[in-house]
Chain A
């Protein structure tokens, strides 16, 4: 199959029909956001969690609910507030008068898809309860360890840290999110359609399940089998090296970030219907994977500005 390479590059143009249908449907609900939606699905395939950062009202919650509906996943939302307690996230044991014993009531985190809304409005204590669960995919409450469902996908939203009343997530916790994306305002065409069309929430119940959970799990294992050649790993390492050596950045990308980058790129390649990762895949996911893990030495700059030097100055070996 590789001898004439036909699988490789041609298929890049013909996306796997499963994904194209998924994308099309999502795009019909959330208008003008093809690329962020594709990144969301990519993140999901790579078994990563997603952080959406933007100002209120650009459709963060709608996006999360649409994805849940399309995947047929049970979905629960946690509204993070400053008085949220870890037990509100994880669940707690409550005395049952009938059986004279404590019974564990699982918290919202025990759902396949969790929307952690405005995560940076709560105290670090509640934040870390969720973030631990995300990393370990299990919850330990009162000495008993309970596994979380598979698939398990957290979409957290946060307001830009410059807003009042926020507890910014520390770097170590940002690292738990595979990707961070920004939605941004819709373009004028999409906005007009939005203003003319019906209530977006009303569309949700009508959505078909495009990718059932079982299929999603199969695809997730297939992501791991996507081939990454030594030449590609050279490129990944060159990127990591650049981020660590360049005076542009305060600190480089961690090894975990390197793994995340590769994994996300594999998912991206799979969505393109390819069996191997190309440098373009790395470049496609790099802004959302590396954007929140890097800080410019000049302190500031948008996500795009942060990764621009990586995309522009690191030669593909």
Chain B
């Protein structure tokens, strides 16, 4: 039997497990790729299994070719390219399914397993969470079990194979940890390929339009975590500053500039200093959201004139920044151009707006009084905080202020700034996050996308930019308490009162338990992010410093030393004891059979030497005589008892008679030749009586 042929027995024992493993490997990709791509692999697995049990025909080359075209077309249809994160991964998945259908030799089987291991890794391009990591580990265990099955373990039961695979994966974990800790970390995004397109599906965007933040409003996805060093700021001070908008076109608020300018002069700060570490989820923008107002920050960040922080490049992986902030800030004077921008309004305000503002101006024209008056207006008129405001016809600001009166932070801050500008008070919109959710298990503050917020700043001569949050006037709970609300059917938000909350928690301990579990999970996840995913060059350097390893040379030496020690130990444990190579006859025999191996004749480890000689004689009749004599003498020496030096000499001489296979047969050793030889073997077995090597026939008869 040719060593590379696929026997049906081998397939029957290995294929079901392999197909199951493949189907599971691509399952997590359903979350990131269109369903038909993993579906393609599932179908391939199903078809291959059906082929195994003769329920489906094997695919001809033509249909495979067509299927390949179809698969590639599918990928192109979805992504319009074959590279990039999605396109490349999809191509890999399709290739995996096709290779499974196309398997012809044992090597192909191995290839499928290795390809599957690679596909398992591609899932990390999309998600690096704990469940995915655990899942990958499980899938790798399955694939290891497949490899065990292919390497002679097929007589082991499935449970045994799985157990052995799990054992091997477990044994690899220490090595993995060592490599993880010591192998030089690559700076920059390891898991992020060049982005296909910046889809702003998470996080704030660079403009504000009614509806932008509301999309974030209900997402519990984490925006960032904050670990405070000592004290936690009170809820009403938890404003996380993001982009600032100056320019209003009647509907959209934008920054009004292309690139934010670095701060000319830092503001004067006072109040308690809060030191904290901010772990930012990737949001594909350069913004970093400090607590107002940032005092110190890493050198890689820039403070811009508008008060938020900017990273060097878009944040594509979780980043951790150590910052400090103080709540009170005093800014320098407003430049003329800034004042002009802070008073900009598009066109002429609506009649009703002018009337309203004029009324306020008559009451008290000071900026501070105007702001208070506007807040009072929001508080006293029937404004409702709602995440699903009705559509506004006509002028959006006037429509909101006088007709619908339902909205959320965007509407309130936008309308407030507009009113201030109409009244001649320089004002701007600030977006960012507000609040956060304290995790008592992990002792950190979790800020979710739902905490996205917009507020206003007005310029007061003497005090500089002053934060005014008009949303607080309408729904103070939104600001002062941790948000815990459910949107009603009409989108009106009902804030849970403390009494109701306490009652609810007591009534339903299940809810409490689930809440507890959720917090616990958040804590674990945070630890994972902090200790595993954030382990970049910086953290590694710090870790190595602590170990006393300062330079890379020493690290390389110690790493090499450690790995070679590991290798030595495993070799010592696994090296087969008393290898028979001490026997000179066996050494000669191995040398000669190595020659035959070049011709594709390999003795299986458990194949008897006489049986092997018979097989050689059947496959290569021209070798029958010389190798037969050689084997005879070898067997006589090795198993016959005595070992005179003369016999060994003669064995060497006989061995020299065997051609080393480099001549003649070498030039046509293509795949076709291999096939022909495989057929030759089975053919020879079938027509043994006619075969021209009578020496083997006796041997043949009694071994059936």
Contacts and interface: CB of A to CB of B under 8 A. Distances in A.
Nearest to B703: A284
A24 to B, nearest CB: 12
Contact of B633 (A5, A229, A283): A5
Contact of B640 (A15, A275, A314): A275
A2 B699 CA distance: 21
Interface string B681-704: 000000000000001111101111
Contacts of A18: none
Interface string B624-656: 000010011111111111101011001000000
Interface string A248-272: 1000000000000000000000000
Interface string B144-155: 000000001001
A31 to B, nearest CB: 15
Interface in A267-317: 275-280, 283-284, 297-298, 305, 308-309, 311-317
Interface in B599-615: 605-611, 613
Q: Looking at chain B, what size class is its interface with the partner chain? A: 35 or more
B160 interface: yes
A308 B636 CA distance: 27
B498 interface: no
B632 to A, nearest CB: 4
B395 interface: no
A316 to B, nearest CB: 6
A312 B586 CA distance: 21
A93 interface: no
A247 B699 contact: no
B156 interface: yes
A9 B703 contact: no
A137 interface: no
Interface in A214-230: 227, 229
A3 interface: yes
Contact of A278 (B157, B586, B639, B698): B639
A6 B631 CA distance: 11
Contacts of A129: none
Contacts of B605: 315-316
Given A13-B695, A35-B702, A247-B156, A313 B606 contact: yes
B608 A8 contact: no
A277 B610 CA distance: 12
Contacts of B633: 4-5
B636 A2 contact: yes
A9 B637 contact: no
Contact of B639 (A277, A283, A284): A277
Contact of A12 (B156, B586, B699): B699
B704 to A, nearest CB: 6
A284 B696 CA distance: 16
A34 interface: yes
A130 interface: no
Contacts of B647: 2-5
B608 A316 contact: yes
Contact of A314 (B606, B639, B644, B703): B606
A58 interface: no
A309 B155 contact: yes
A38 interface: yes
Nearest to A279: B608
A4 B633 CA distance: 6
A305 B156 CA distance: 11
A245 interface: no
Contacts of A213: none
A2 B650 CA distance: 12
A210 interface: no
Contact of B636 (A9, A15, A314, A317): A9
B580 interface: yes
Contacts of A9: 610, 613, 628, 631-632, 635-636
Nearest to A20: B698
A257 B702 CA distance: 24
A129 B358 CA distance: 122
Given A3-B646, A279-B609, A311-B606, A34 B635 contact: no
A204 interface: no
Contact of B607 (A10, A231, A316): A316
A14 interface: yes
Given A10-B632, A312-B152, A227 B608 contact: no
Given A3-B646, A317-B580, A278 B635 contact: yes
Interface in B219-265: none
Interface string A3-44: 111111110111100000000000000000011001000000
Contacts of B607: 316
Contact of A316 (B609, B636, B650, B695): B609
Contacts of B703: 284
B642 A2 contact: yes
A135 interface: no
Contacts of A275: 640
A15 B609 contact: no
Nearest to B157: A298
Nearest to B163: A247
A276 B632 CA distance: 12
Nearest to A312: B606
A248 B703 CA distance: 26
Interface in B191-211: none
A13 B699 contact: yes
A229 B606 contact: no
A240 to B, nearest CB: 15
B608 A280 contact: yes
B640 A227 contact: yes
A15 B697 CA distance: 12
Contacts of B579: 317
Contacts of B611: 280
Contacts of A34: 701-702, 704
B407 to A, nearest CB: 69
Given A5-B634, A276-B641, 9 more contacts: A8-B635, A35-B702, A231-B583, A276-B640, A277-B639, A297-B160, A314-B606, A315-B606, A316-B609
10 contacts: A3-B650, A4-B647, A5-B647, A9-B631, A9-B632, A13-B698, A231-B583, A277-B639, A278-B639, A317-B580
> Which 10 residue pairs are nearest across A and B when measured between Cβ atoms?
A5-B636, A13-B698, A315-B605, A9-B632, A280-B608, A5-B633, A8-B636, A5-B632, A279-B608, A229-B639
Interface of B: 152, 155-157, 160, 579-580, 583, 586, 605-611, 613, 628, 631-642, 644, 646-647, 650, 695-699, 701-704
